[in-house]
């Protein structure tokens, strides 16, 4: 053991004598300086993101060479580089001169190393620090002399954005969100603030024949600093590789982690036909009819290309949603397109999301939710999937998850229409749980972005109704609008629901003739437009009965019982509303036992909302208000309602709307 220690000590002393330790110290200081310079200068010089890794490898190889050379050779004060002599042949004068020279060099190196370590351990002002991994990709500028090349530049921007969107560790706002900045020369910092992102990617491009050039720049908007820029020259056959490379480089600069699965999806080539892809890109820049033709032409070149099927399916589903009676066949067309898209690309988030909307239209709520979940696993920034999930959770009365998904949609899709819709949706969720101030704030945000002022008043009136302020609700809806509600509305109006709110408020205040005036108009418009009447149907039957208009009462009650029984039998989703409808229907049929039975079923549900909490105020139940069983049931409903309020209150404390 002592012999082994002596050998190690001798080896250490020999390393020092040959100045190997000092060479390592000086080399390390120099390497530190080189690494720091590369880190600082590489972005501004437009060097690729792998430059620093290459420098590290070269420096490591250089270290090995320096150690070997320093063992064999030395620098003599008088004779330059010489082969190192054995220890017994070195003169004391040489040792003293060598020691002084190396001591000075080592001391300087140590100071450099210590200074660089301190600068990196304790961040200096101005050093970029990634706080929020979020980005907006602004519309690219078309540098091509031909204006018809714009569709390709737009398509390139969207493809890069879509690749970035597939990264879980990065929040990306949608293309529609940034379209407003195409011809709007706002400062980058202002755009970033409006989009609520930390980084902006902007650029330009041109296409000449089969040659493509993109010039891109990544900006840290929070610090108004240039992070990275690069120019890419590729031919048309390499376009998908180009989009993949750009997305991965940008993610690397933002320090967003890309999983192996995400990398595969980013690098996936959607079609082998550049002609099919070119037609698909053109289809996104033209009107609907021409777009449909171009998408079919794209499929003629590649029938396995999933993206045209998705676009066609979206067009057909929009038509069906607009008018189910007129466009009923379009749902079948949507189903065919979705199935084709998933057949050729089961990893398509857009196809999974479209499948979710299709299933929701069919009433298959649970399968729709699974499709939306699959879509977000594949693309965590797909805003419309969050919106679809939000409405499903709202229907299921899972209000915390509804709020969370509407919120996730808002921070990814900053278009005016989407902000109006989703702040309104959040307000509606909060209305259903009686959060008056927070709901008003959300409605006012929606109004700020351009929401219809009459619809704003309707929702405000409904909010007052749900919080038990029936007269306040009427006061909000009526001033200056009486003529709108009674004379000006028709089936094309978005304001028809205001009639139902006024009818309901007057009903709860015992003003049945006044309520009849509004419900009569509401029923006439609904019959003309062939709209279904869910919750309001039993209110209308009650008011018609109380005012002596018995001709429609039995018909409305029987319709409601059939529809609600069918919903429950099909297990289509949350049953709370239908238990309420059935309880009211049986009360109007003078069947108190069944009315109490369905109220009991309601009280056993996990979640409640404001309409359920208002049951004791509903005049339909006036005959059993003092019934002990009714009091016990409504007390349990109230307790559940307060529990749901507590959960939503906690969510509100954790989020800034």
Helix (H, G, I), strand (E, B) or coil at 589: coil
* 329 compared with 322, residue with greater pLDDT: 329
- How does residue 61 score in pLDDT terms, banded at 50, 70 and 90? confident
Q: Are residues 595 and 489 in the same domain?
A: no
What percentage of the chain has pLDDT greater than the value 70? 81
- Reported as type and span, the H/E element at residue 141 is strand 141-142
Highest mean pLDDT pick, 238-252, 354-368, 588-602: 588-602
Q: Are residues 527 and 537 in the same domain?
A: no
What pLDDT, on the 0 to 100 scale, is given for residue 639?
Answer: 95
> Higher-confidence residue: 379 or 323?
379
Q: State how far Cα 324 lies from the chain centre.
A: 29
Q: Is residue 233 helix, strand or coil? A: strand
Domain extent, residue 8, equals 2-121
Residues 6+ apart with CB under 8 A from 551: 544
Would strands 73-76 and 141-142 be described as parallel, antiparallel, or unpaired?
unpaired
The single-letter DSSP state of residue 182 is S
Give the total number of structural domains in the chain.
5
Residue after which a domain boundary falls, among 329, 358, 381: 381
| Pairing status of strand 80-83 against strand 73-76 | antiparallel
Lowest mean pLDDT among 176-190, 459-473, 581-595: 176-190
Whether the predicted pLDDT of 13 surpasses 80: no
599 or 6, higher pLDDT: 599
Indicate whether 480 pLDDT > 90.
no
63-84 mean pLDDT: 64
Last residue of a domain, one of 66, 89, 121: 121
Give the SS3 label for residue 3.
helix
Q: Do 536 and 648 lie in a common domain? A: yes
**Who wins on pLDDT, 334 or 326?**
334
Phi, psi angle pair for 619, to nearest 5°: -65, -15
- Best-predicted range by mean pLDDT among 103-112, 124-133, 265-274, 488-497? 265-274
Domain boundary, last residue among 326, 346, 381? 381
* Highest mean pLDDT of the ranges 21-25, 53-57, 257-261, 529-533: 257-261
Neighbours of 76 (CB within 10 A): 15
Judgement on whether residues 175 and 146 belong to the same structural domain of the protein: yes
Q: Do residues 541 and 608 both lie within one domain?
A: yes
Rounded Cα distance between 91 and 132, Å, is 62
Query: Are 195 and 210 in the same domain?
Result: yes
CA distance 23 to 30: 10
C-alpha 52/C-alpha 58 separation (Å) is 10
pLDDT higher than 70, residue 485: no
Angle (CA) 400 401 402, round 5°: 90
Indicate whether 208 and 240 sit together in one domain: yes
């Amino acid at each position: 053991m002592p012999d082994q220690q002596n050998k190690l000590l001798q080896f250490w002393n020999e390393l020092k004598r040959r100045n190997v330790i000092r060479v390592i110290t000086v080399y390390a200081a120099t390497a530190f300086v080189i690494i720091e310079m590369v880190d600082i200068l590489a972005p501004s010089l437009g060097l690729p993101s792998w430059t620093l890794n290459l420098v590290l490898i070269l420096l490591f190889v250089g270290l090995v060479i320096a150690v070997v050379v320093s063992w064999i050779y030395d620098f003599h004060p008088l004779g330059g580089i010489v082969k190192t002599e054995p220890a017994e042949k070195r003169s004391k004068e040489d040792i003293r001169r060598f020691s002084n020279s190396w001591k000075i060099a080592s001391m300087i190196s140590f100071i450099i190393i210590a200074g660089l370590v301190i600068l990196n351990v304790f961040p200096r002002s101005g050093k970029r620090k990634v706080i929020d991994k979020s980005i907006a990709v602004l519309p690219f500028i078309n540098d091509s002399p031909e204006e018809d090349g714009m569709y390709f530049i737009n398509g390139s921007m969207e493809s890069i954005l879509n690749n970035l969107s597939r990264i879980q560790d990065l929040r990306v706002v949608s293309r529609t969100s940034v379209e407003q900045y195409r011809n709007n020369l706002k400062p980058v910092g202002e755009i970033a603030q409006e989009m609520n992102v930390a980084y902006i990617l902007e650029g330009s491009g041109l296409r000449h024949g089969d040659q493509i050039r993109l010039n891109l720049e990544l900006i840290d908007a929070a610090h108004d600093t240039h992070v990275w820029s690069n120019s890419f020259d590729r031919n048309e056959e390499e376009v998908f590789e180009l989009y993949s490379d750009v997305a991965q480089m940008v993610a690397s600069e933002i320090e967003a982690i890309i999983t192996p699965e995400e990398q595969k999806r980013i690098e996936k080539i959607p079609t082998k036909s550049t002609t099919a892809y070119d037609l698909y890109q053109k289809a996104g820049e033209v009107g609907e009819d021409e777009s449909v033709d171009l998408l079919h032409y794209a499929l003629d070149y590649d029938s396995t290309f999933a993206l045209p099927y998705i676009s066609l399916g979206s067009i057909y589903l929009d038509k069906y949603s607009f008018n189910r009676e007129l466009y009923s066949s379009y749902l079948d067309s949507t189903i065919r397109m979705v199935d084709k898209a998933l057949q050729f690309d089961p990893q398509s988030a857009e196809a999974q999301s479209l499948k979710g909307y299709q299933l929701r239209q069919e009433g298959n709520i649970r399968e729709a939710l699974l499709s939306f979940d699959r879509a977000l696993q594949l693309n965590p920034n797909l805003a419309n999937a969050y919106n679809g999930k939000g409405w499903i959770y709202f229907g299921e009365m899972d209000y915390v998850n509804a709020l969370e998904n509407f919120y996730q949609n808002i921070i990814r899709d900053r278009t005016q229409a989407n902000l109006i819709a989703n702040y309104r949706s959040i307000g509606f969720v909060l209305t259903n749980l009686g959060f008056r101030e927070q709901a008003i704030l959300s409605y006012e945000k929606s109004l700020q972005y351009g929401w219809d002022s009459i619809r704003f008043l309707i929702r405000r009136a409904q909010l007052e109704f749900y919080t038990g302020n029936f007269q306040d609700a009427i006061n909000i809806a009526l001033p200056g609008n009486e003529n709108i509600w009674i004379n000006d509305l028709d089936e094309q109006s978005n304001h028809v629901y205001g009639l139902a709110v006024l009818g309901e408020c007057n009903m709860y205040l015992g003003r049945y003739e006044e309520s009849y005036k509004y419900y009569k108009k509401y029923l006439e418009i609904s019959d003309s437009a062939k709209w279904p009447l869910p919750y309001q149907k039993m209110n209308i039957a009650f008011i018609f009965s109380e005012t002596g208009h018995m001709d429609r009462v039995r018909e409305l009650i029987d319709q409601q019982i059939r529809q609600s029984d069918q919903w429950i039998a099909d297990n289509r989703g949350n049953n709370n509303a239908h238990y309420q409808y059935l309880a009211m229907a049986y009360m109007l049929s003078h069947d108190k036992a069944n009315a109490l039975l369905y109220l009991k079923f309601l009280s056993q549900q996990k979640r409640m909302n404001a309409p359920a909490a208002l049951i004791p105020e509903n005049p339909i139940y006036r005959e059993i208000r003092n019934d002990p069983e009714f009091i016990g049931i409504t007390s349990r409903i109230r307790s559940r309602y307060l529990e749901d309020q507590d959960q939503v209150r906690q969510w509100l404390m954790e989020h800034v709307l």
